């Protein structure tokens, strides 16, 4: 029922319709714009149990924010900004905030299709999962197959995914189906600290830990046959691989470095904050430009990292199934970032386009058909959107829709969204229990530690199907394919 008012702390949350809630702009709270929350009744009730809504209101007080702050259905408490949030600031008058991108810059996902069926995978399931685990380093501090020199890492930071492909780690067409072509123009290694280089140089081609994973999946159901066919997803039971990781210690250090820079600069620019974790600098300041160049470098590192993992994945499949990568049809479907800030043009007031810095923190770009930022392959249908679920639950492929431009700055959710802390998961579950539950569903998991299994129990996350239903019902990104896991490797 629309018009109902609920409270979250000191905030009045008004229900607009079944999937939209609003906190109106209040000058007494120094809000510059309202907050819009896309959810259903169950999801928003979960958001009120942590600081998600408080944080969104705090973000609305930042200088130069435009139209509204968006909280997507996977929204939950983060560092300063809620995860599952979008905030757009005016390029000339607004700010850029490292916390609005997060520590894992360009944490993102990529989907690889195959010509294999679920039956073929299951015949070799343990072998292929074990081989992937041998090929792809996982865990905190994990290191890749080689250590980059300073000149190599600086080249990679500028060239992005092209750096890996030119050295034989992938196919030319891989870059054609990455967001931004896997290369963010404007990256500048001179804006990156030596500490960041030191942390990143041994980690290229590694998954890391936390909620990062590689999954072998099958198509469970096709909802949009035309869009699925354009992506090479043609039938139920077809096997795919989903890779979820980011910029590792490199991106973490870039964020840490520029949070300190931003905190120091607050007094210089006379910026008052509702929360110190919102530390920011003017977009057009020297500090803002330097952060952007360093953040773009981390974006390129992450795309290269996922490219290297793609190469090792193809190699493992080739070995176990004794067919070439081409015979296995292991083409990249799409790669999308979900921790990023970019300059984009949007219509915020109905009177024309405006240059904005769009912060997506735990949010996925979801552009409709006809937009030039979409690869040629998909421009006539819309941008593929990849939403990974939690370990043991479904993942989804959606399609960007025109309503996203009106409702969410061309964005949708990035995953299920966490509802249970890692410490709470360890208090209430055991690794053996989680593993048995996965095995009962026919899912084989290989993990570095038992802790890594229990912390990522599916019970720690929202229902990804419900999150996707909100996006689909709003029309910001609509259902194409539902995927379910067969085998998983984790840190």
Question: Residue 379: how many CB atoms within 10 A of its CB?
Answer: 15
Hey, where are the domains in the chain? 5-102+346-353
Higher pLDDT, 28 or 3: 28
Q: How many CB atoms lie under 10 A from the CB of residue 116?
A: 24
DSSP states along 409-446: SSEEE-SS-B-S-HHHHHHH--HHHHHHHHHHTT-EEE
C-beta pairs of 262-265 under 8 Å, 24+ apart in sequence:
262/97, 262/98, 262/287, 262/291
Per-residue CA distances from 259 to 98, 119, 189, 192, 347 (Å): 6, 49, 18, 13, 30
Whole-number Å distance between alpha carbons of 373 and 383: 9
383-420 CB burial, b ≥16 within 10 A, e <16: bbbbbbbbbbbbbbbbbbbbbbbebbbbbbbbbbbbbb
pLDDT value for 385: 98
Mean pLDDT of 93-111: 97
Please tell me the predicted confidence (pLDDT) of residue 455.
Answer: 86
Please, which pLDDT band fits residue 5 given cuts at 50, 70 and 90? Answer: low
Angle at 156 between CA 153 and CA 159, to 5 degrees: 155
Contacts (Cβ under 8 Å, ≥6 apart) of 68: 33, 34, 35, 36, 60
Q: Strand, helix or coil at 353?
A: strand
The confidence score (pLDDT) of residue 358 equals 98
Nearest to 254 by CA among 338, 304, 198, 178: 198
pLDDT digits (tens, 9 = 90+) for 386-408: 999 988 899 999 999 999 999 99
Say yes or no to pLDDT of 139 above 70. no
Both tokens of 266, joined, read 């607050």
Tell me: pLDDT of 211 over 90: no
Active site members: 414
How confident is the model over 283-290, as a mean pLDDT? Answer: 98
* pLDDT band, residue 460 (cuts 50/70/90): confident
Q: 431 with 450: CB under 8 angstroms? A: yes
Structural contact between residues 206 and 305, judged by C-beta atoms closer than 8 angstroms: yes
- pLDDT score recorded for residue 432: 87
Residue 359 to residue 178: CA distance in whole angstroms: 19
pLDDT at 457: 87
What pLDDT sits at residue 208?
A: 86
Q: Which residues contact 45 (CB under 8 A, 6 or more apart)?
A: none
The pLDDT value given to residue 90: 97
pLDDT tens for each residue of 239-283: 999 999 999 999 999 999 999 999 999 999 999 999 999 999 999
How confident is the model over 476-490, as a mean pLDDT? 96
Tokens standing for 233?
Answer: 């997803």
């Amino acid at each position: 029922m629309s018009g109902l008012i609920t409270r979250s702390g000191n905030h009045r949350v008004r229900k607009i319709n079944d999937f939209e809630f609003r906190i109106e702009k209040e000058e007494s709270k120094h809000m510059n714009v309202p907050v819009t929350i896309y959810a259903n009744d169950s999801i928003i009730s979960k958001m009120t149990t942590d600081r998600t809504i408080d944080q969104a209101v705090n973000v609305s007080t930042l200088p130069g924010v435009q139209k509204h702050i968006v909280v997507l259905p996977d929204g939950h408490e983060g560092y300063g900004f809620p995860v599952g949030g979008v905030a757009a600031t005016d390029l000339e008058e607004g700010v850029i905030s490292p916390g609005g991108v997060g520590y894992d810059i360009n944490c993102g996902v990529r989907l690889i299709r195959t010509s294999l069926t679920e039956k073929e995978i299951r015949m070799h399931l343990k072998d292929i999962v074990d081989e992937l685990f041998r090929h792809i380093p996982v865990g905190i501090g994990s290191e890749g197959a080689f250590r980059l020199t300073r000149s190599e890492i600086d080249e990679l930071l500028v060239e992005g995914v092209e750096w890996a492909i030119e050295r034989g780690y992938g196919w030319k067409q891989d870059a054609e189906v990455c967001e931004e072509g896997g290369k963010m123009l404007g990256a500048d290694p001179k804006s990156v600290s030596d500490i960041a280089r030191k942390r990143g140089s041994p980690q290229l081609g590694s998954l890391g830990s936390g909620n990062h994973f590689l999954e072998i999946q099958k198509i469970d159901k096709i909802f949009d046959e035309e869009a699925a066919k354009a992506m090479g997803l043609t039938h139920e039971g077809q096997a795919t691989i989903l890779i979820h990781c980011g910029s590792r210690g490199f991106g973490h250090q870039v964020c840490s470095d520029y949070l300190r820079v931003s905190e120091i600069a607050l007094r210089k620019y006379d910026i008052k904050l509702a929360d110190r974790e919102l530390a920011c600098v003017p977009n057009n300041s020297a500090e803002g430009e330097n952060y952007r160049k360093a953040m773009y470098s981390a974006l390129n590192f992450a795309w290269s990292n996922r490219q290297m993992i793609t190469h090792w994945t193809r190699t493992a499949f080739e070995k176990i199934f004794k067919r070439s990568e081409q015979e296995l049809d292991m083409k990249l479907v799409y790669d999308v970032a979900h921790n990023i800030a970019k300059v984009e043009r949007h219509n915020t007031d109905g009177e024309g386009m405006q240059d904005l810095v769009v912060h997506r923190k735990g949010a996925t770009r979801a552009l409709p058909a006809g937009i030039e930022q979409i690869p040629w392959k998909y421009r006539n249908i819309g941008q593929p959107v990849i939403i990974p679920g939690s370990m043991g639950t479904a993942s989804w492929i959606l399609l960007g829709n025109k309503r996203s431009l009106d409702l969410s700055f061309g964005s949708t959710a990035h995953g299920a969204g966490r509802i249970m802390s890692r410490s709470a998961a360890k208090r209430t579950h055991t690794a053996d229990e989680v593993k048995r539950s996965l095995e009962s569903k026919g899912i084989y998991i290989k993990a570095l530690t038992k802790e890594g299994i229990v912390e990522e129990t599916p019970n720690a996350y929202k229902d990804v199907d419900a999150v996707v239903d909100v996006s689909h019902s709003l029309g910001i990104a609509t259902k194409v394919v539902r995927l379910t896991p067969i085998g998983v490797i984790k840190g």
